[in-house]
Amino acid sequence: MSNTAIWCRRFGVPEEILQIENTDTEALKENYIRVKMNLSPINASDLIPVTGAYGHRITPPFIVGYEGVGEVLVATDKWSHLKGRRVLPLRGPGTWQSIVDCNAELAIPVPTNISDELAARAYINPLAALMMLRFFPVKGKRVLLTAAGSDCALYLGQWAIRFGAKSVAGIHRSPIHHKKFLHVEYCQ
Ligand SMILES: NC(=O)c1ccc[n+]([C@@H]2O[C@H](COP(=O)([O-])OP(=O)(O)OC[C@H]3O[C@@H](n4cnc5c(N)ncnc54)[C@H](OP(=O)(O)O)[C@@H]3O)[C@@H](O)[C@H]2O)c1
Protein backbone atom coordinates (compact mmCIF):
# COMPACT_ATOMS: atom_id res chain seq x y z
CA MET A 1 0.00 0.00 0.00
CA SER A 2 1.45 3.39 -0.87
CA ASN A 3 1.94 6.01 1.84
CA THR A 4 2.73 9.71 1.69
CA ALA A 5 4.49 11.25 4.69
CA ILE A 6 6.01 14.57 5.69
CA TRP A 7 9.53 14.00 7.03
CA CYS A 8 11.89 16.08 9.07
CA ARG A 9 15.40 14.89 8.15
CA ARG A 10 17.31 17.77 9.74
CA PHE A 11 16.46 20.59 12.14
CA GLY A 12 15.48 23.90 10.59
CA VAL A 13 12.67 26.22 9.58
CA PRO A 14 9.70 23.91 8.91
CA GLU A 15 8.66 25.39 5.57
CA GLU A 16 12.24 25.15 4.33
CA ILE A 17 13.27 21.68 5.42
CA LEU A 18 10.16 19.48 5.64
CA GLN A 19 9.79 17.14 2.69
CA ILE A 20 7.04 14.97 1.27
CA GLU A 21 8.05 11.37 0.61
CA ASN A 22 6.16 8.45 -0.92
CA THR A 23 6.92 4.91 0.20
CA ASP A 24 5.24 1.53 0.41
CA THR A 25 3.95 0.47 3.81
CA GLU A 26 5.81 -2.31 5.63
CA ALA A 27 4.25 -5.43 7.15
CA LEU A 28 1.99 -4.53 10.08
CA LYS A 29 3.56 -5.37 13.45
CA GLU A 30 1.75 -7.54 15.98
CA ASN A 31 -0.65 -5.56 18.17
CA TYR A 32 -0.63 -2.70 15.67
CA ILE A 33 -3.47 -1.28 13.62
CA ARG A 34 -3.23 0.44 10.24
CA VAL A 35 -5.09 3.76 10.10
CA LYS A 36 -5.96 5.80 7.03
CA MET A 37 -5.82 9.43 8.16
CA ASN A 38 -8.85 11.66 7.57
CA LEU A 39 -7.42 14.84 9.11
CA SER A 40 -3.97 15.72 10.46
CA PRO A 41 -3.97 19.25 11.86
CA ILE A 42 -1.05 21.64 12.34
CA ASN A 43 -0.43 22.44 16.00
CA ALA A 44 2.30 24.73 17.34
CA SER A 45 3.66 21.68 19.15
CA ASP A 46 4.15 19.85 15.83
CA LEU A 47 6.54 22.51 14.60
CA ILE A 48 8.66 23.03 17.73
CA PRO A 49 10.57 19.70 17.42
CA VAL A 50 11.34 20.51 13.78
CA THR A 51 13.26 23.59 14.88
CA GLY A 52 15.41 21.50 17.24
CA ALA A 53 14.01 23.04 20.43
CA TYR A 54 13.32 19.53 21.80
CA GLY A 55 16.67 18.27 20.50
CA HIS A 56 17.47 16.58 23.81
CA ARG A 57 14.71 14.03 23.18
CA ILE A 58 13.61 14.22 19.52
CA THR A 59 16.16 14.01 16.71
CA PRO A 60 15.71 13.58 12.95
CA PRO A 61 14.75 11.68 10.98
CA PHE A 62 11.10 11.59 12.05
CA ILE A 63 7.66 11.99 10.53
CA VAL A 64 5.98 15.13 11.85
CA GLY A 65 2.59 15.44 13.55
CA TYR A 66 1.17 14.53 16.96
CA GLU A 67 -2.58 14.69 16.39
CA GLY A 68 -5.21 13.60 13.91
CA VAL A 69 -8.06 11.21 13.27
CA GLY A 70 -8.40 8.35 10.85
CA GLU A 71 -10.20 5.14 10.06
CA VAL A 72 -8.84 1.70 10.90
CA LEU A 73 -8.13 -0.18 7.66
CA VAL A 74 -6.36 -3.21 9.04
CA ALA A 75 -6.47 -4.74 12.53
CA THR A 76 -5.10 -8.07 13.66
CA ASP A 77 -7.35 -10.63 15.38
CA LYS A 78 -7.38 -9.25 18.90
CA TRP A 79 -8.19 -5.80 17.58
CA SER A 80 -10.57 -6.74 14.76
CA HIS A 81 -13.42 -4.91 16.58
CA LEU A 82 -11.63 -1.66 15.69
CA LYS A 83 -11.76 -2.27 11.92
CA GLY A 84 -13.75 0.51 10.26
CA ARG A 85 -13.80 2.58 13.48
CA ARG A 86 -12.36 6.08 13.68
CA VAL A 87 -9.48 6.40 16.11
CA LEU A 88 -6.86 8.88 17.27
CA PRO A 89 -3.57 7.08 16.45
CA LEU A 90 -1.62 8.67 19.29
CA ARG A 91 1.91 8.31 20.59
CA GLY A 92 3.18 6.44 17.53
CA PRO A 93 4.90 7.59 14.37
CA GLY A 94 3.94 11.07 13.13
CA THR A 95 0.41 11.75 12.02
CA TRP A 96 1.37 13.87 9.01
CA GLN A 97 1.09 10.90 6.70
CA SER A 98 -1.71 9.24 4.80
CA ILE A 99 -1.31 5.86 6.57
CA VAL A 100 -0.31 5.53 10.23
CA ASP A 101 0.59 2.19 11.82
CA CYS A 102 0.11 2.53 15.56
CA ASN A 103 0.04 0.45 18.70
CA ALA A 104 -3.60 -0.58 19.08
CA GLU A 105 -3.45 -0.27 22.86
CA LEU A 106 -2.65 3.43 22.57
CA ALA A 107 -5.27 4.28 19.93
CA ILE A 108 -8.34 6.14 21.18
CA PRO A 109 -11.66 5.14 19.53
CA VAL A 110 -13.76 8.17 18.58
CA PRO A 111 -17.50 8.20 19.40
CA THR A 112 -19.69 8.60 16.31
CA ASN A 113 -21.20 11.88 17.52
CA ILE A 114 -17.82 13.65 17.45
CA SER A 115 -16.86 15.20 14.11
CA ASP A 116 -13.52 14.59 12.43
CA GLU A 117 -12.68 18.28 12.88
CA LEU A 118 -13.14 18.12 16.65
CA ALA A 119 -11.57 14.68 17.09
CA ALA A 120 -8.47 15.61 15.09
CA ARG A 121 -7.58 18.28 17.64
CA ALA A 122 -8.78 16.53 20.78
CA TYR A 123 -5.35 15.65 22.10
CA ILE A 124 -2.74 18.38 22.56
CA ASN A 125 -4.58 21.53 23.58
CA PRO A 126 -7.56 20.02 25.44
CA LEU A 127 -5.30 17.78 27.54
CA ALA A 128 -2.79 20.58 28.15
CA ALA A 129 -5.61 22.85 29.36
CA LEU A 130 -7.12 20.11 31.52
CA MET A 131 -3.77 19.28 33.14
CA MET A 132 -3.13 22.95 33.90
CA LEU A 133 -6.51 23.28 35.55
CA ARG A 134 -5.89 20.13 37.60
CA PHE A 135 -2.46 21.29 38.76
CA PHE A 136 -3.60 24.85 39.44
CA PRO A 137 -7.21 24.67 40.68
CA VAL A 138 -9.12 27.85 39.81
CA LYS A 139 -12.20 27.45 42.00
CA GLY A 140 -13.08 30.81 43.52
CA LYS A 141 -10.16 32.53 41.81
CA ARG A 142 -9.86 35.27 39.23
CA VAL A 143 -7.99 34.00 36.18
CA LEU A 144 -5.96 36.05 33.71
CA LEU A 145 -5.11 34.43 30.37
CA THR A 146 -2.33 35.72 28.16
CA ALA A 147 -2.50 35.01 24.39
CA ALA A 148 -6.20 34.49 25.06
CA GLY A 149 -6.96 34.09 21.37
CA SER A 150 -4.92 30.90 21.18
CA ASP A 151 -6.66 27.56 20.86
CA CYS A 152 -5.23 26.40 24.19
CA ALA A 153 -6.50 29.52 25.97
CA LEU A 154 -9.93 29.01 24.45
CA TYR A 155 -10.23 25.71 26.32
CA LEU A 156 -8.66 27.16 29.46
CA GLY A 157 -11.07 30.09 29.60
CA GLN A 158 -14.23 28.08 29.09
CA TRP A 159 -13.20 25.28 31.44
CA ALA A 160 -11.92 27.67 34.13
CA ILE A 161 -15.46 29.06 34.34
CA ARG A 162 -16.86 25.55 34.46
CA PHE A 163 -14.39 24.58 37.21
CA GLY A 164 -15.59 27.44 39.39
CA ALA A 165 -13.35 30.41 38.59
CA LYS A 166 -14.84 33.68 39.80
CA SER A 167 -13.90 35.40 36.55
CA VAL A 168 -11.66 34.95 33.53
CA ALA A 169 -10.02 37.84 31.75
CA GLY A 170 -8.04 37.46 28.56
CA ILE A 171 -5.36 39.59 26.96
CA HIS A 172 -5.09 39.13 23.22
CA ARG A 173 -3.43 40.77 20.28
CA SER A 174 -5.78 40.48 17.33
CA PRO A 175 -9.34 41.89 17.54
CA ILE A 176 -10.60 38.83 15.62
CA HIS A 177 -10.54 36.98 18.94
CA HIS A 178 -13.09 39.29 20.57
CA LYS A 179 -16.06 37.02 19.92
CA LYS A 180 -14.42 33.74 20.90
CA PHE A 181 -15.43 33.69 24.55
CA LEU A 182 -18.99 34.10 25.68
CA HIS A 183 -18.43 34.65 29.39
CA VAL A 184 -15.05 36.29 29.45
CA GLU A 185 -14.03 39.88 30.02
CA TYR A 186 -11.36 41.16 27.67
CA CYS A 187 -8.78 43.84 28.00
CA GLN A 188 -6.43 44.83 25.18
N1 LIG B 1 3.74 21.72 26.36
C2 LIG B 1 2.55 21.34 25.95
O3 LIG B 1 2.11 20.23 26.21
C4 LIG B 1 1.71 22.29 25.16
C5 LIG B 1 0.42 21.91 24.85
C6 LIG B 1 -0.38 22.82 24.17
C7 LIG B 1 0.13 24.05 23.79
N8 LIG B 1 1.41 24.36 24.09
C9 LIG B 1 1.97 25.66 23.71
O10 LIG B 1 1.02 26.67 24.00
C11 LIG B 1 1.12 27.72 23.03
C12 LIG B 1 -0.24 27.98 22.40
O13 LIG B 1 -0.60 26.89 21.57
P14 LIG B 1 -1.89 27.01 20.64
O15 LIG B 1 -2.03 25.76 19.86
O16 LIG B 1 -3.01 27.43 21.50
O17 LIG B 1 -1.38 28.17 19.64
P18 LIG B 1 -2.22 29.13 18.67
O19 LIG B 1 -3.66 28.74 18.63
O20 LIG B 1 -1.43 29.16 17.40
O21 LIG B 1 -2.13 30.52 19.36
C22 LIG B 1 -0.92 31.24 19.52
C23 LIG B 1 -1.34 32.62 20.03
O24 LIG B 1 -0.19 33.36 20.36
C25 LIG B 1 -0.46 34.72 20.01
N26 LIG B 1 0.80 35.40 19.76
C27 LIG B 1 1.83 34.98 19.01
N28 LIG B 1 2.81 35.89 19.02
C29 LIG B 1 2.39 36.91 19.81
C30 LIG B 1 2.95 38.14 20.21
N31 LIG B 1 4.16 38.50 19.80
N32 LIG B 1 2.23 38.95 21.02
C33 LIG B 1 1.01 38.59 21.46
N34 LIG B 1 0.40 37.42 21.11
C35 LIG B 1 1.10 36.60 20.28
C36 LIG B 1 -1.29 34.64 18.75
O37 LIG B 1 -2.09 35.81 18.70
P38 LIG B 1 -2.93 36.27 17.42
O39 LIG B 1 -3.90 35.18 17.12
O40 LIG B 1 -3.59 37.51 17.86
O41 LIG B 1 -1.93 36.43 16.32
C42 LIG B 1 -2.13 33.37 18.97
O43 LIG B 1 -3.40 33.66 19.51
C44 LIG B 1 2.18 27.26 22.02
O45 LIG B 1 3.41 27.85 22.40
C46 LIG B 1 2.21 25.77 22.22
O47 LIG B 1 3.44 25.21 21.83
C48 LIG B 1 2.21 23.51 24.78
Residue 51 sits in the same domain as residue 107: yes
Residue 45 sits in the same domain as residue 113: yes
Final residue in a domain of this structure, among 100, 119, 138: 119
Radius of gyration of the chain (CA): 19
Residue 153 sits in the same domain as residue 83: no
Q: If you measure from the C-alpha of residue 141 to the centroid of ligand 1, how many angstroms do you get, rounded to a whole number? A: 23
- Does 68 map to a domain? yes
- Does 93 map to a domain? yes
pTM above 0.95, yes or no: no
Residue 170 sits in the same domain as residue 145: yes
Is the distance from the beta carbon of residue 44 to the nearest atom of ligand 1 less than 6 Å?
Answer: yes
Is the distance from the beta carbon of residue 156 to the nearest atom of ligand 1 less than 6 Å?
Answer: no
- Does 188 map to a domain? no
Quickly count helices (H) and strands (E) in the chain: 5, 11
Residue 78 sits in the same domain as residue 24: yes
Is the distance from the beta carbon of residue 121 to the nearest atom of ligand 1 less than 6 Å?
Answer: no
**Which residue's CA is minimally distant from atom 28 of ligand 1?**
147
66-123 per-position pLDDT tens digit: 999 999 999 988 999 999 999 999 988 999 999 999 999 999 999 999 999 999 999 9
CA distances from 67 to 102, 116, 126, 138, 140 (A): 12, 12, 12, 28, 33
- Does 16 map to a domain? yes
Residue 114 sits in the same domain as residue 133: no
- Does 12 map to a domain? yes
Final residue in a domain of this structure, among 77, 101, 119: 119
What range defines the domain where residue 131 resides? Answer: 124-182
CATH number of the domain bearing residue 77: 3.90.180.10
Final residue in a domain of this structure, among 70, 89, 119: 119
Is the distance from the beta carbon of residue 180 to the nearest atom of ligand 1 less than 6 Å?
Answer: no
Is the distance from the beta carbon of residue 173 to the nearest atom of ligand 1 less than 6 Å?
Answer: yes
- Does 107 map to a domain? yes
What stretch of H or E contains 135?
Answer: helix 124-135
Mutate to test the pocket of ligand 1, among 173, 176, 180 (most ligand atoms within 8 A of CB): 173
For the chain, what is the domain count?
2
Q: If you measure from the C-alpha of residue 112 to the centroid of ligand 1, how many angstroms do you get, rounded to a whole number? A: 30
Q: If you measure from the C-alpha of residue 139 to the centroid of ligand 1, how many angstroms do you get, rounded to a whole number? A: 24
Residue 65 sits in the same domain as residue 37: yes
33-79 per-position pLDDT tens digit: 999 999 999 999 999 999 999 999 999 999 999 999 999 999 988 99
d(CA 79, CA 30): 10
Residue 23 sits in the same domain as residue 37: yes
128-144 per-position pLDDT tens digit: 999 999 999 999 999 99
